[in-house]
Amino acid sequence: MLGRALPAPLAELLADLGNMTVALPVLLLAAGRSGWRARTAPLPRRWLPPLAAVVAMALVPALVGPLQAALARPAPPGALAGETGFYPSGHAATAAVAYGAAALLLLPYAAAPYARRLLITAALVLVLATGPGLVVRGYHWPVDVLGSWALSAALLTVLYGVLHGIRPRPGAQQAPVTRRSAAPRGRPASGGPS
């Protein structure tokens, strides 16, 4: 049904959004822009976000490749039938991490609420459009794409934590800090008899 609604040339174009040659330049442009915008910040703070995003992208093939080899999932019927190594989808993970990380890098510089919504929406559209393209073209099963999105969500959550820090929720109770007396051991803290 999806194949009839999505013509093959369009499906191929959408599948190509997950190619490293398409997605990586988007991430690198966002990383460069983020580094440039933060050029007045102290050196570690300036380059931590772009570096963390590039490391997250480098983790995609480092995680997906061994998983594909270990699971040896067969290809869907079609041109790739008989081959294995299709779960999780490398293209879906590449698209999700590249476009998601690019959005996370640029989000602090989108001051207007509509610009922030537009940035997040664009990243989601690019990520979600890749999946149907991969399935319709017969490159992956739907579960291959879903597995990649789950892996990518984990990577992007860690990246978000690195970029924005893990902060306690507002209003959350924190454990009280207790101070010990500065009196030496063996002596009472008060001025009473020893």
Residue 27's Cα: distance from chain center in Å? 11
pLDDT of residue 188: 54
The span from the CA of 46 to the CA of 36, in Å, is 8
**What average pLDDT is seen over the chain?**
84
Q: How confident is the model at residue 185 (pLDDT cuts 50, 70, 90)?
A: low
Determine the length of the chain. 194
> What are the boundaries of each domain within the chain?
15-164
pLDDT of residue 86: 83
Instruction: Give me the mean pLDDT over the 30-59 stretch.
Output: 86
Instruction: Give me the mean pLDDT over the 159-172 stretch.
Output: 73
Quick one: tokens of 46?
């300036």
The span from the CA of 174 to the CA of 145, in Å, is 40
Closest to 91 measured CA to CA, from 138, 52, 49, 50: 138
Q: Is 41 left (phi over 0), alpha (psi -120 to 50) or beta?
A: beta
Q: Which amino acid is at 40?
A: T
Quick one: tokens of 29?
């442009």
Residue 125's Cα: distance from chain center in Å? 15
pLDDT of residue 46: 73
Instruction: Give me the mean pLDDT over the 45-65 stretch.
Output: 91
pLDDT in tens, 102-155: 999 999 888 899 999 999 999 999 999 999 999 998 889 999 999 999 999 999
Q: How confident is the model at residue 5 (pLDDT cuts 50, 70, 90)?
A: confident
Per-residue pLDDT at 176 exceeds 80: no
Per-residue pLDDT at 187 exceeds 60: no
pLDDT in tens, 75-100: 888 767 678 888 999 999 999 999 99
